[in-house]
Amino acid sequence: MSKTLLTLFVIAAAGCGGEPPFYPPKFRTSLNVQGSGQQRTFLIGLDDPEYRHQFDQMAVAGNFLYFNIPWYGVYRMPKYGGEVQPIEEANGIEDFRGIATNETDVYWARMSSFGSAGPDFPHSRLRRQALGGGSVQTVAEGDIGIVASWLDARAFHAGADALYSAVSYPQKDYVDLTRFPVDGGTSKILWRLTIDPSSGPAPAYFVFDDPLAYISSCDPIGGAACALTRIDVRTGASDTFSTTAGPQEVVAVDATDLYLVSAHQLLRRPKDRAGDATVLASFEGNQWPTPMAVVDDDDVFLILNQSLVSVPKSGGTTRTLTTGLEGGADALAQDERNIFVMYDWMSIDIVPKTSVAAIP
Amino acid sequence: MRLALVALGWAPWIPGCSDRLVDGSFLGDSTIRLRGELASHVADSLSPVVGAIWLGYSALSTPNQGLETTALPITRIQFPASFTCEILDPPPSCGRYQLADGRIVPAAIRIARLVIIDDRDGDGRFAVDATGGVVAPDRLLARAEEHVLLYVQSVPADPSRLDATGSILTNWEAASPGYHLVATDPATVPPGVSGQVVDNGTRVIFEPPRPAAGP
């Protein structure tokens, strides 16, 4: 009876101009879970059997894990477990996309439903807060759309002094990878991603290595011509770093090398062009690497089907850290000793880098 | 109408570590009167304050990770070298710690090293650098070598089961919500911390810093 009355009440509210009902996210946390030290440990999940909420992106910096829930808010929590603290929320009223951190701040995009371009195009604000907390500030804003994910590639990054994101415009069939100085300076377009009317958006993958960015993409028409493009993020000047016959998605960068995945391989290519790409690992059968990875001093961590694996940079045997990431992995982050895995858009687990997957 | 909807959908938000309760005049368990004593003469100081260097959640395995600081005014000084200070605010945050062997302790807590700082610029705060050293112009005068400060936000589900597992405390049953002093085991290899909760009235001895000592 009470549910019926509530439903009628909500319908009446919407019918006379009220806001639609909102459903604040509910979290499952891990305070009573004893992490084993060698195995994957549950960290946080969304308690939402109706799938109204999903995680989107995450970042780990300092003591915290940061994440966003589209159309609900941006949150942080102690990185090994603890209370979830909202940084900014607008339950169902405004959208929140993208999470990125640098040494000092966490950044995200907040987008209203209505911009000056009309009801279907947002007014966006790029926001930031110091990692230690404090007031939220706007880095840049305008009647643009923030495209934090381009197909299955993360397109929202923070450098030391600038924020990078793909940006859309009203009634335009392209988006621009754009640099926004965090001091509020003039933004700069770095790269244009086209959306072909017949074939749709062309895949592209990005890594940022201040003062350079690398983009891997393929000619959406020709299909076979794929290139790794290098861009000076200060000037916008670009050149072709390398070309390949088939797709190679750039997924990570460190002090000396770029890391790329192809259909069944993980490759390493020196940033100084001192040599060709070398194969770090080959994956047989139906093992397809997902185009996401994180690197530390010793290893490359990436997703193979529903497993997290590590590949030694020095060469050697691929090691499976955990399996059974149901629904597939959506994002990776790391600290000194752990990999944080978001999967099924509903859960985030901690996997020690020294973890060894149990044999089924 | 909007108010009614808000009332229907609103769920009370549980205050976190850094959230003042009510209007700030009541802080629940977030208070402790610290009794300190200087072990020996320390360098002349312009403006001594007690400092808490809050260890980050991975700082028990990786030194100096996620350090945060708070300065605590000394409220009373007695000759020859005793003082008290009152900690009225909760830590910057609370959460679970990861131990050196990778285990994650199932309790929301925060641990701080206690120091005495010469607040030379008089701004009422101090900072530490990536190596854990106090950032100039402030200066480290002394540090507590045998005690750390513990804040407990939520207790483990089965505290006694943790006691013998090398999970920071050897008497988790005594770690009720709020502030505690922990007498540390000097045999524990840094950056790990191990010890037992002791009475909050225990006198904390501060010693001049040893050369090259971090937090």
Taking only the tens place, the pLDDT of each residue in B107-140 is: 999 999 999 999 999 999 999 999 999 999 999 9
Is B12 inside any structural domain? Answer: no
Best to test chain A binding among B19, B57, B60, B61 (most A CBs inside 10 Å): B57
Domain ranges (residues) in chain A:
2-352
The tens digit of pLDDT for each residue in A313-342 reads 998 999 999 999 999 999 999 999 999 999
The tens digit of pLDDT for each residue in A184-202 reads 999 999 999 888 777 778 8
Is B5 inside any structural domain? Answer: no
Chain B residue at shortest CA distance from A104: B66
CA distance B168 to A306: 35
Is B154 inside any structural domain? Answer: yes
Q: Which residues of A touch B (CB under 8 A)?
A: 6, 9-10, 13, 16, 18-19, 21-24, 30-38, 41, 62-64, 77-83, 85-86, 91, 132-133, 335-338, 350, 352, 354
Give pTM, 2 decimals. 0.88
From chain B, pick out residues whose CB is under 8 angstroms from the CB of A82: 93-96, 108, 153
DSSP letter, residue B67: -
Nearest to B93 by CA among B62, B70, B127, B61: B70
8 Å CB contact of A37 and B58: no
- At residue A195, the pLDDT reads 83
Chain A residue at shortest CA distance from B69: A132
- Is there a contact between A294 and A301 (Cβ–Cβ < 8 Å)? yes
Q: Domain A2-352, CATH 3.40.50.140 — does that match?
A: no
Which among B9, B10, B108 is the nearest to A31, CB-wise? B108
Domain with B141 in it: 17-207
pLDDT band at A11 (very low <50, low <70, confident <90, very high): very low
8 Å CB contact of B153 and A82: yes
Is B213 inside any structural domain? Answer: no
Is B214 inside any structural domain? Answer: no
B157 in A contact zone (CB under 8 Å): yes
From chain A, pick out residues whose CB is under 8 angstroms from the CB of B95: 63, 77-83
Is B129 inside any structural domain? Answer: yes
Which among B1, B103, B107 is the nearest to A36, CB-wise? B103
Which among A82, A336, A350 is the nearest to B65, CB-wise? A336
User: What is the number of helices (H) and of strands (E) in chain A?
Assistant: 1, 33
pLDDT band at B30 (very low <50, low <70, confident <90, very high): low
8 Å CB contact of B18 and A35: no
Is B146 inside any structural domain? Answer: yes
- At residue A198, the pLDDT reads 78
**Parallel, antiparallel, or unpaired for β B203-207 and B32-38?**
parallel
CA distance A52 to A71: 10
Domain count, chain B: 1
CA distance A354 to A356: 7
